[in-house]
Amino acid sequence: MALRDVRVARRVLLAGGLAVSAVGVCGMPAVAGGSRRSAAPEIASTADWQAREPTSPVDVLDSKPVKIVVHHTASPNVDDTSQEAAFALARQIQDFHMDSNGWKDTGQNFTNSRGGWLMEGRHRSLEVLTAGDQHVQGAHAGAENPVSLGIENEGTYTDATVPEDLWDSLVQLCAYMVAQYGIEPGEIYGHRDFMATECPGDVLYGRLPELREAVGAATGRAVVQPAVWPLLRPEAAGPSVTALQLLLRAQGASVPVDGVFGPQTQAAAGGIVAASGAAGASCYATRLPEPGLFGGSAWAGLTPALGPGAGGDAVRAAQVLLTSRGRYVAADARFGDRMAAVVREFQVSSGLAATGVLDQRTWQRLLG
């Protein structure tokens, strides 16, 4: 069977949810305990697309990654879906990462083209993924690099539809990663979940819950959708912005509390983004300026653990969010018994442990 025929055959299986039981894809037996092996997809190596050699050895960690981070390249949505075009894209990304960012090699572990051609990104990523017991550290998602695999998907998906070929290959690659490393399907994220960026675009990001479910079905693993931080853009408005302003004020910033993400709030928030490491060129997708965004790990530095007896603007921020979700509490900046009870109710409804304490996961659910 020709390579392209193999790819099409596998997409047919993916479209059917890989509904195998005693026998898996390509005749591999199902794994006991509800999980299944996933067939290795066709992935072109760095040698295949004629990559440059790294300027220094890549870092191979003696640990397994626990997350997958999805990116888009923020490049044109081209009509040329040939393998030759895909290889040219891989070379362009590597040139940018090495020559403009000053990195040792391509930042992401793998690249997926609009035609569904999968390619190794950073050297040794394919070899190490195949072995399944180590991790090639990339340079694609800031502080998450030591624990995550990065996949660049060709195109810009702020409002464009994701091509079927690219989608099918993304599902297959993620399923293989999950099977090789035991990653939970719910641990598939978008770049914006960790850094202040539009990446991977609203359309592709909006399909991540679907991606997790497809990977869970392909591997026979249960899916728990994660809580994530919201991305705020210039002139955004609403309770999340009001909460941000109060959280900034809790740290001494002088910003209005008007619920609008205007210039003054953006400036104060930008300092938090920079201090948290959630800014800066992190992959090919951030080669274009993205001013005024707030999101990702920057939220973590602003959302303290709060419990009974706490007070101040951070408590007011939580009260604004609880009220916006139909759980009224007085906006008195005091964490009293009534607020603790409401927090517990919210935690139960969100599938969280009912501690009555505002921890990071509760903040994420409130803001998300």
- Cα(21)–Cα(30) distance, integer angstroms: 6
Q: How far apart are the first and last CA of the chain?
A: 47
pLDDT tens sequence across 12-66: 344 334 333 222 333 233 333 355 677 899 999 999 999 999 999 999 999 999 9
> Using DSSP, how many helices (H) and how many strands (E) does the chain show?
11, 8
Q: Which residue has 């690659």 as its token pair? A: 173
Q: pTM of whole model > 0.85?
A: yes
Mean pLDDT of the residues in the chain: 89
The CA distance from 262 to 255, in Å, is 10
Q: How far apart are the C-alpha atoms of 347 and 33, rounded to whole Å?
A: 30
- Neighbour-count burial for 272-311, b at 16+ CB within 10 Å, e otherwise: bbeebbbbebbbbbbbeebebbbbbbbbbebbbebeeebe
Cβ pair 316, 335 in contact under 8 A? no
Predicted pLDDT at 368 = 86
Residue 236 · residue 189 · CB < 8 Å: no
Return the pLDDT at 278: 81
Residue appearing with tokens 């760095």:
46
Alpha helices in 182-276 (DSSP H): 202-206, 208-219, 239-250, 263-276
155-172 pLDDT, tens digit per residue, is 999 999 999 999 999 999
Strand order across the 43-44 sheet: 43-44, 118-120, 110-112, 148-153, 67-72, 188-190
* Cβ-based burial of 49 (10 A; exposed 0-12, middle 13-18, buried ≥19): buried
Identify which of 238, 262, 265 has the alpha carbon closest to the alpha carbon of residue 251.
265
- Check: CB of residue 259 under 8 Å from CB of residue 239: yes
Furthest CA-CA distance within the chain: 70
Which burial class, exposed, middle or buried, applies to 354 when counting CB atoms under 10 A from its CB (0-12, 13-18, 19+)?
Answer: middle
- Amino acid making up residue 202: D
Identify the three-state secondary structure at position 250: helix
pLDDT 10s digits, 93-114: 999 999 998 999 999 999 999 9
Distance, CA of 218 to CA of 25 (rounded, Å): 9
pLDDT at position 281 is 59
In this prediction, residue 35 carries a pLDDT of 59
Interatomic CA distance for residues 364 and 71, integer angstroms: 21
Stretches where the chain sits below pLDDT 70 are 1-36, 280-288
Q: Which amino acid, 209?
A: P
Q: Where are the beta strands (DSSP E) in the chain?
A: 43-44, 60-61, 67-72, 110-112, 118-120, 135-136, 148-153, 188-190
